[in-house]
Structure 1
Amino acid sequence: LIETVIVMVIAVILAAVVAVGWSPFDTIKLYNAKRKVAADIRYSQKLAISSQQRCGVFRNSATAYTVFEQGSTADPAPSSGDGCSTDASNNFVVDFSAGRCSDYSGVTTTFTTSVANTIYFNSLGTPVDAAGTAIAGNQTVTVTFNGSRDITIDAGTGRVSY
């Protein structure tokens, strides 16, 4: 009887250690962050089409990026329901390390783009460089949190996929 109890206690302790080390929530956090970044890239593309201005996404740091409209003195305001995308000045700045983005704490991004840390879209929604010239290859944004996922922006069509 004592041996059975000891084996059960050891099994429970091992199960607890494994459960703490393995968290499905990390996968969910990465998935949600990837979807947020992709949605913000698509928003920038739609903004470029609707405003007929070059718009884009600029990576400020590993944990922050800004959606912008080129030639505008203010960044476009995000939708009112997304507190993570609004800074104190109501600009479209996402900072995963800020308290307002606590759901995404620890998430980082890496931009592999034709223009360092920036994705531009022209008035047709096509990815371009800073001068407005069509880019040759696909652009990639990697979202990382205990693993990584890529978001690809197709060079010819601007399709955002992951």
Structure 2
Amino acid sequence: MKVSGIRYQVSDVGFFRIFFTVHSSPSLSKWGQRGDRGFTLIETIIVMVIAVILAAVVAVRWSPFDTIKLNSATRKVAADIRYAHKVAISTQTRAAIFFTANGYDVYQNYASVILAPSPGDPCSDNGGNFQVDFNAGRCSNYSSVTITSPVTNPIAFNALGTPVDSGGTSITSQTVTVIYKGTNNAITVEQGTGRVSY
């Protein structure tokens, strides 16, 4: 029996009646024609090229390696400021750290212009003196990193570890900014305590 293009078949199995409905859809016979085709090879290649270009743009604008390098340099600068703080307390002198655009020098006694001895880190060792230059070959891990100096430069510490200026007068909290490829981290040296954070 046919009703509106639908054919019904009836089958008796025991006490059960099973109805099978077979719907003759006109669209099934058109499978594979233009309206149902997939992408051509050229279209696939174009999409892949666009995807690669977008991925390259994202990679240039942001790289996890850039972040790792910036954070590594920030940790080093913060650790070296803490080192100057400890030197001041242990030697009972006015130790200091003087910043430049590409690095810094750590002084064991700033009043007498005596540089602190190198702590053994190759980047911090300039002929046995504690001097860091991010442009130097020995600091290749930090190449192209720059520093924005604090308002008070150098940051010195008195025998109690209190942040002071070069003349020994207490100073307000200071900020040292470490920069790499337009991204930066700020290091703060707190007034009074000399606590270093970032």
- Normalising by the residue count of structure 1, what TM-score does the alignment of the two structures yield? 0.88
Distance 2:197 2:52 in 1: 42
Which of these residues, 147, 155, 174, is aligned with residue 139 of structure 1?
174
Tell me the secondary structure at the aligned position of residue 175 of structure 2.
strand
Gaps of 5+ in 1: none
Match status 1:85 vs 2:85:
no
- The number of aligned residues is 156
Query: Is the Cα–Cα contact under 8 Å of residues 74 and 91 in structure 1 kept in the other structure?
Result: no
Q: Can you list the C-alpha shifts for 1:10-39, whole angstroms capped at 9, x where unaligned?
A: 323432343244211111111111110000
Q: CA 1:12–1:126 in structure 2 vs 1: closer, same or farther (change >3 Å)?
A: same
Q: Can you list the C-alpha shifts for 1:115-162, whole angstroms capped at 9, x where unaligned?
A: xx2010011111012222222x11111111121111111111111111
- Normalising by the residue count of structure 2, what TM-score does the alignment of the two structures yield? 0.73
Gaps of 5+ in 2: 1-39
Structure number having the greater strand percentage? 2
Query: Is the Cα–Cα contact under 8 Å of residues 88 and 159 in structure 2 kept in the other structure?
Result: yes
Of all paired residues, the percent bearing the same amino acid is 59
Alignment of 1:36-115 (within 5 A): 36-59=76-99, 61-70=100-109, 71-72=111-112, 74-80=114-120, 82-87=121-126, 89-114=127-152
Q: CA 1:20–1:131 in structure 2 vs 1: closer, same or farther (change >3 Å)?
A: closer
Tell me the secondary structure at the aligned position of residue 75 of structure 2.
helix
Match status 1:125 vs 2:161:
yes
Distance 1:141 1:130 in 2: 17
Task: Tell me which structure has the larger Cα radius of gyration.
Answer: 2
Query: Is the Cα–Cα contact under 8 Å of residues 113 and 119 in structure 1 kept in the other structure?
Result: no
Q: Which amino acid aligns with 1:68?
A: Y
RMSD over aligned Cα atoms: 1.6
Query: Is the Cα–Cα contact under 8 Å of residues 107 and 113 in structure 2 kept in the other structure?
Result: no
Deviation at 1:78, TM superposition (A): 2.4
